[in-house]
């Protein structure tokens, strides 16, 4: 119905004397249609996400407890944007059948990206030129149930149970947004009496065609000495 109305209003009969009220209404209707389609697509394409428990919450910050998780990961050279693009392509190949037996493995979210750096845990780590890009494997698959990757660069491993400090935000995962959210999360960790025990992970949950204001992004940092 929305599409029909939008199409009707875009057909302006007299372009010499256009009805600007109708034109603005058509713009609004078209935008509403795009929003509905995006939200419907998001529901239809719902995929498995991590199973964690929230131990503490403060605004947009959370302290989470994650169980052990089987993952597929690959090291990629380049900045973060290059790494996530190339890493995603290689890992997607693995789950779409580039493995022993040609098995298909269900897609999960998020796509995680962690800088490889030996320096202090800080925002500057995001300037690394080597990154680990990671897919969680479905919860019903442990390492014994996963096929061997054809690409020898892909590593299958199990991450141990971990306490994670997290901040969630929408919009695009730009360099600026990643840096600002990482700085804010590190501030939360310090003021909460916690200690970062590993580099930040940038987590992106949505496909690239998702409208920016509907996207779910997170920065995740493992912590030690958390409250009970």
Give the pLDDT confidence of 44-97 residue by residue, as tens digits. 457 999 999 999 999 999 999 999 999 999 999 999 999 999 999 999 999 999
Same-domain status, 97 and 202: yes
- Cβ-count burial 89-113 (b if 16+ within 10 Å, e if not): ebbeebbeebbeeeeebebbbbbbb
Q: Give the domain CATH number at 189.
A: 3.20.80.10
The answer, yes or no, to whether residue 12 has pLDDT greater than 90, is no
**Nearest-angstrom CA–CA distance, 184 and 181:** 5
Same-domain status, 39 and 14: yes
Question: pTM for the full model?
Answer: 0.79
Per DSSP (E only), the strands in the chain are 53-58, 61-66, 69-77, 111-115, 130-136, 155-159, 162-169, 195-196, 201-204, 217-224
Domain tally, the chain: 2
The answer, yes or no, to whether residue 157 has pLDDT greater than 50, is yes
Question: Contact 221/201 with Cβ under 8 angstroms?
Answer: yes
Same-domain status, 30 and 101: no
The boundaries of the domain holding residue 21 are 2-44
| Mean pLDDT of the region 201-225 | 94
Same-domain status, 36 and 112: no
Q: What is the pLDDT of residues 100-130, one digit of tens each?
A: 989 999 999 999 999 998 878 899 999 999 9
Same-domain status, 70 and 155: yes
Same-domain status, 65 and 157: yes
Same-domain status, 31 and 144: no
Same-domain status, 6 and 60: no
């Amino acid at each position: 119905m929305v599409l029909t109305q939008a199409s009707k209003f875009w057909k302006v009969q007299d372009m010499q004397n256009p009805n600007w009220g109708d034109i603005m209404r058509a713009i609004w209707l078209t935008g509403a249609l795009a929003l509905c389609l995006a939200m419907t697509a998001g529901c239809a394409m719902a995929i498995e996400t991590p199973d964690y428990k929230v131990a503490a919450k403060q605004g947009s910050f959370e302290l989470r407890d994650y169980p052990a998780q089987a993952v597929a990961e690959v090291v990629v050279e380049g900045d973060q944007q290059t790494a996530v693009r190339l890493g995603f392509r290689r890992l997607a190949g693995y789950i779409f059948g580039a493995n022993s037996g040609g098995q298909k493995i269900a897609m999960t979210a998020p796509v995680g990206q962690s800088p490889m750096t030996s320096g202090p845990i800080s925002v500057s780590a995001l300037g690394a030129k080597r990154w680990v890009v990671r897919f969680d494997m479905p919860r019903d698959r442990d390492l014994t149930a996963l096929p061997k990757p054809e690409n020898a660069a892909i590593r299958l491993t199990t991450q141990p149970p971990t306490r994670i400090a997290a901040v969630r935000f929408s919009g695009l995962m730009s360099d600026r947004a990643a840096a600002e959210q990482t700085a804010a999360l590190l501030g939360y960790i310090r003021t909460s009496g916690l200690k970062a025990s590993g580099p930040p992970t940038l987590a992106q949950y949505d496909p690239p065609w998702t409208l920016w204001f509907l996207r779910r992004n997170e920065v995740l940092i493992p912590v030690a000495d958390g409250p009970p």
